[in-house]
Amino acid sequence: MAESLYLGLISGTSRDGVDAALVSFEEGQPNLLHAFCQPYPAAIRADLDRMIEAGRAPDPGKAAALDELLGRFFARCAMELADEAGVERRDIRAIGCHGQTVWHQPGGERPVSMQLGSGSVIARTTGITTVTDFRRADLKAGGQGAPLAPLLHRELFHSGEEHRAVLNLGGIANLTLLDTDGGVQGFDTGPGNCLLDAWIRQCHDQAYDEGGAWAASGTVSADLLERLLEDPYFEKQPPKSTGLEHFNLHWLLQRIGESELATADVQRTLVELTVESIARALDGQQPERLLVCGGGVHNAFLMARLKDRLGDYPVESTADHGVDPDWVEAILFAWLARERVAERALDTGPITGARQPVLLGKIYGP
């Protein structure tokens, strides 16, 4: 059992805390043993918000300090998870830690995707081999560095009987297309929850719109929706990825402009932006089933709109296929750690555009 245990850690673009998952690969496929989400302390969340909302690449000194601070926090999460699960740390083969993305700019002369959460600090603090920095090798191979979730989606949800799509509804939404022959494609469609969260925080100082109730009270503004959908990202062909550097509150306020829309109408329109951008990305792909994971699966109004808009095929939670939608990404980084420790190069080309298979992640020994 000991050689089959891996621990995955990630904080996504919503920055609500660290998802931690203990995963067994004893029978080959990942089996989730225990998981939790540890909210960020207010001080760490404030530091992250300031860094990300600045709208530019982080200052190296501030990034280094936060990298170490986050490393200690991720390490604490890993140790608490092991304790809760009743597992000795020495029995965990490796930790896979995505860290916290603070800047993602895969285009241009110097592509970069920066995740904070020091792997050396995690390994030293926990005494467990730790794998981090999963995106750098893909960027060096000419890829986008993201999304990586489609690699695991293929392992978990591929069917030889039907074409499937898997939607990860995080802060940014990403889509995986699974062919019956095992082929996989994937890319970011655009905003998932990030603008919805940013707008309700701006208007009501709430972290998120629970169940989509506030959005449901509003009315879609066709003019605003049209302006939002005019962003060139939506027409860009894959491989493509994006983040809060692009889709953020400043981006939204620019497009609202001087219009005097009710705040609930803006929120309702943002739901439609997420739904419409996903529907357009699926146009012509003709999946027979859409599986949804990520925090957005709990937004009942958003899910209802997605089902209404797509209509022609089932839209289901990954829970219906044996995997809790809240922990798919944490499981991903446990799985990626396993692949890296085994020195298996992964073919990310159909997803990110990388020129050749790559070893994803840097290993830190304890």
Q: How far apart are CA 128 and CA 366, in angstroms?
A: 5
CATH 3.30.420.40 residue window(s) in the chain = 2-144+328-348+355-364, 149-313
Pairing of strands 172-178, 164-169: antiparallel
Q: Is 207 exposed, middle or buried (0-12, 13-18, 19+ CB in 10 A)?
A: middle
**What's the CATH superfamily of 2-144+328-348+355-364?**
ATPase, nucleotide binding domain (3.30.420.40)
The CATH architecture one would assign to domain 149-313 is 2-Layer Sandwich (3.30)
Q: How far apart are CA 150 and CA 186, in angstroms?
A: 6
The string of DSSP letters for 291-332 reads: EEESGGGG-HHHHHHHHHHH-SS-EEEGGGGTS-TTSHHHHH
Please report the pLDDT score of residue 28 as a whole number: 85
Q: How far apart are CA 322 and CA 303, in angstroms?
A: 19
Please tell me whether residue 13 adopts helix, strand or coil conformation: coil
CA angle 278, 31, 116 (to 5 degrees): 60
Q: State the pTM of this model.
A: 0.96
Q: How far apart are CA 15 and CA 9, in angstroms?
A: 13
The string of DSSP letters for 105-125 reads: E-SSSS-EEEEES-HHHHHHH
Lookup: tokens for 196: 């919805």
Please report the pLDDT score of residue 296 as a whole number: 96
Walk along the chain (366 residues) and give the pLDDT tens digit of each residue. Answer: 557 999 999 999 888 899 999 999 998 899 999 999 999 999 999 999 999 888 889 999 999 999 999 999 999 999 999 999 999 999 999 999 999 999 999 988 889 999 999 999 999 999 999 999 999 999 999 999 999 999 999 999 999 999 999 999 999 999 999 999 999 999 999 999 999 999 999 999 999 999 999 999 999 999 999 999 999 999 999 999 999 999 999 999 999 998 999 999 999 999 999 999 999 999 999 899 999 999 999 999 999 999 999 998 999 999 999 999 999 999 999 999 999 999 999 999 999 999 999 999 999 999
Closest by CA position to 73, among listed 43, 51, 94: 43
Q: How far apart are CA 137 and CA 159, in angstroms?
A: 29
Question: Angle, to 10 degrees, between the axis of helix 263-282 and the axis of helix 194-204?
Answer: 180
N-to-C CA span, the chain: 20
Q: How far apart are CA 6 and CA 21, in angstroms?
A: 8
Is-contact 8 20, C-beta < 8 A? yes
Please report the pLDDT score of residue 1 as a whole number: 55
Starting from the edge strand earliest in sequence, which strands make up the sheet with 184-191, in order? 184-191, 172-178, 164-169, 289-293, 315-317
Please report the pLDDT score of residue 109 as a whole number: 85
Residue that is written with structure tokens 């390490």 in the block: 75
| CB atoms near residue 230 (< 10 Å) | 10
Write the CB contacts of 309 (distance below 8 Å, at least 6 apart in sequence): 275, 276, 279
Please report the pLDDT score of residue 14 as a whole number: 84
The type of residue at 112 is V
| CB atoms near residue 231 (< 10 Å) | 18
Lookup: tokens for 225: 């929706």
Is-contact 19 327, C-beta < 8 A? yes
